[in-house]
Structure 1
Amino acid sequence: MEKINYHNKRFRAISNSKNGEVDAETFFHYRQGGDVIWATYHGTNIKMGTITGIVKEDSSLVFTYQHVNLNDEIMTGKCISTPKIDEGRIILSENWEWTCKDLSKGESIVAELVQKDNLTPIF
């Protein structure tokens, strides 16, 4: 597989562990410069979040995240995301861990939002 460029890619969460705050209404906007990635995200339970990390040689992502939830708590964690390409879009399988509160772990899947017929973004 050719190395993935995540710059300006948009994603939506499609599943998450119960102990996570990301849900199906959480949207991510990734950017990339060299092997550094960063993103912003927001959703039902998240007012504003950021991601900062590295793109590995195999296109996997290693990053930390932080966000402000609806209770005005600052939540932090770390994640490893493994990509696959499915019908032309990037699917990220994520293994994450809170670095705050109960330090629990979880799994999520986020999928790239692609343009239908190269005209209209799918959200």
Structure 2
Amino acid sequence: MARSLDGLFFAPVSDQAPGQVGTRTRFAYHEQDGAVWAEYAGGDVVRGHLVGTREGDRLDFRYVQLRTDGTTASGHCVSTVEELADGRLRLAETWEWESAPGSGTSVVEQVTEHTR
């Protein structure tokens, strides 16, 4: 059985374009019975939420966020859960906006108490 994401915190390893998540964004994940959800904020994101499902090491979710400029955005993401050599988890993501044109890839990694 894959390790649960419940109660874990994640941060992007690099910045995306303005108005998107970046290295100052923090995700607080929850997981129960195949459902995953998270709250996130930081950087250009005032508040964001994601909700979806997990099958094995694959996450499939939708996200919506409020940006610091007052605009909102939404999209779809598929992530693969990977374990790093130090035991932390990494999510390799492929995402696409549904509220505007655009798509890409990103990586978020588990952060510990000391790096939040």
Query: Same fold by TM (over 0.5)?
Result: yes
2:73 corresponds to = 75
| The one of 71, 83, 86 aligned to 1:85 | 83
RMSD, aligned α-carbons: 1.5
Retained in 1: the 8 A contact 2:49–2:65?
yes
1:53 corresponds to = 52
Unaligned runs of 5+ residues in structure 2 are none
Retained in 2: the 8 A contact 1:67–1:76?
yes
Q: TM-score when scaled to structure 2?
A: 0.91
Retained in 1: the 8 A contact 2:18–2:44?
no
Retained in 2: the 8 A contact 1:41–1:50?
yes
- % identity of equivalent residues: 26
Cα pair distance change 1:60/1:20, threshold 3 Å = farther
How many residue pairs match? The answer is 115
Deviation (angstroms), 1:121? 3.5
1:42-93: CA deviation from partner (whole Å, max 9, x where unpaired) = 011000000001011x221100000000121110000001111111000111
2:94 corresponds to = 95
1:34 corresponds to which letter in structure 2?
D
Which of structures 1 and 2 has the bigger CA Rg? 1
1:117 corresponds to = none
- What is the rounded CA distance, in whole Å, between the counterparts of 1:65 and 1:4 in structure 2? 22
2:115 corresponds to = 122
Unaligned runs of 5+ residues in structure 1 are 115-119
Q: TM-score when scaled to structure 1?
A: 0.86
